[in-house]
Amino acid sequence: MPITVVHTKADLRSEVARLIREHAGRRGSAPSLGLVPTMGALHSGHRRLAEAAVAANDVVVASIFVNPLQFGDPKDLERYPRTLEADAALLESVGVDLAFAPSVEEMYPGGDPLVRVTAGPLAGKWEGASRPGHFDGVLTVVSKLFHLAMPGPAAGQPTAFRAYFGQKDAQQLAIVRRMVKDLDFPVEVVGVPIVRAEDGLALSSRNQFLSAEQREAALVLSRALRLVDERATAHEPLEPDDAVDLIKSQPGVELDYFEVVDPDTLEPLAFNCRETPFTGEALAIVAARVGDVRLIDSMPLKAR
Ligand code: AMP
């Protein structure tokens, strides 16, 4: 089926309603609805999210919106790649039904919203520490997208409303899950594993700003994550300081943080990873600057 691309909230609502009604008419039962929020410049990481949504839902909507509220650095916002035609083709090839690609004016008529969703203490650390306001911007746009994509009463309720987020942005995933829980959104949040390039670098729309040399240097991040992952698998002490030293020894890479944290609270696991054998579940997270590109990566750790 060819994908439909809409640019206004009104068209999004009417197209979702049409797809839901059509599906219910064909099948005689209410469909499930999947939502994949993105900022576009889609790559195989986003593809994996869309594939997961298509596999589990009858109707799938993806959004493509470079959300100014979540950018602190105007240069980062300005140079963020915008590739709508290619994005629509990728989504269509996976089987996504509808793409919502609004303008900034359409999403925030009259300027930035006065009322925002605040992410609270979970947003004060890691990414939030170096990007003040970032997660409030994320939650504000994600809340709007949830409301906009959820069909109104005329279309009938879907049997499930699922939203797909990548584990690549581990803190974002944890905070969105917490918002859904704390604010009772009728949405099931699904986390999708990270997709990496063959050399190990986590796919990101910002990787294209890396020179060949910088990209080579950036590989130290996934190497550091693998180091603690191998120790986790072997039930050994993780000794995260070794991963920190490894990254710090790489010229051209400026480490912001490397930590082993609880996947829900994002608090560092002080015990169970230094000197004592690792037995539980945790998340290793890392962020670094390579040239003027900020890269993040993470890896779920499990003693197997
Ligand atoms: P973005 O367009 O960067 O806002 O990303 C949209 C969604 O795709 C977010 O939920 C990201 O976590 C997810 N995503 C981005 N890169 C990857 C990746 N390499 N693997 C899996 N998911 C990703």
- The domain spanning residue 285 has which CATH number? 3.30.1300.10
Distance 169 CA to ligand 1 centre (A): 7
- Do the domain assignments include residue 303? no
* Same domain, residue pair 149 and 281: no
Residue 68 above 90 pLDDT? yes
3-state secondary structure 175-200: HHHHHHHHCCCCCEEEEECCCECCCC
Higher pLDDT residue, 26 or 299?
299
Q: Is 7 a catalytic residue?
A: no
What are the DSSP calls for 8-22, one per residue? SHHHHHHHHHHHHHH
Residues with CB under 6 A from ligand 1: 38-39, 45-46, 48-49, 165-166, 168-169, 192, 194-195, 202-205
Number of separate domains in the chain: 2
Q: What was the pLDDT predicted at 152?
A: 79
Q: What was the pLDDT predicted at 27?
A: 83
Q: At what angle do helices 212-233 and 240-248 cross, to 10 degrees?
A: 170
Read off the pLDDT of each residue in 114-140 and give the average, rounded to a whole number.
96
* Same domain, residue pair 248 and 172: no
Note the pLDDT tens digit of each residue in 235-284.
Answer: 899 999 999 999 999 999 999 999 999 998 999 987 667 777 887 889 99
- Which residues lie closer than 8 Å to 56 by C-beta, 6 or more apart? 32, 34, 162, 190
* Same domain, residue pair 38 and 148: yes
Q: What was the pLDDT predicted at 275?
A: 75
Q: What was the pLDDT predicted at 272?
A: 61
Domain that holds residue 107: 4-192
Note the pLDDT tens digit of each residue in 156-193.
Answer: 788 899 999 999 999 999 999 999 999 999 999 999 99
Residues β-bridged to residue 5: 99
* Same domain, residue pair 285 and 159: no
**Size of the chain, expressed as the number of residues it contains:** 304
Note the pLDDT tens digit of each residue in 78-95.
Answer: 999 999 999 999 999 999
Atom 18 (ligand 1) nearest CA:
45
* Same domain, residue pair 18 and 157: yes
Q: Are 189 and 177 in contact (CB under 8 A)?
A: yes
| Closest ligand 1 atom number to CA of residue 36 | 7
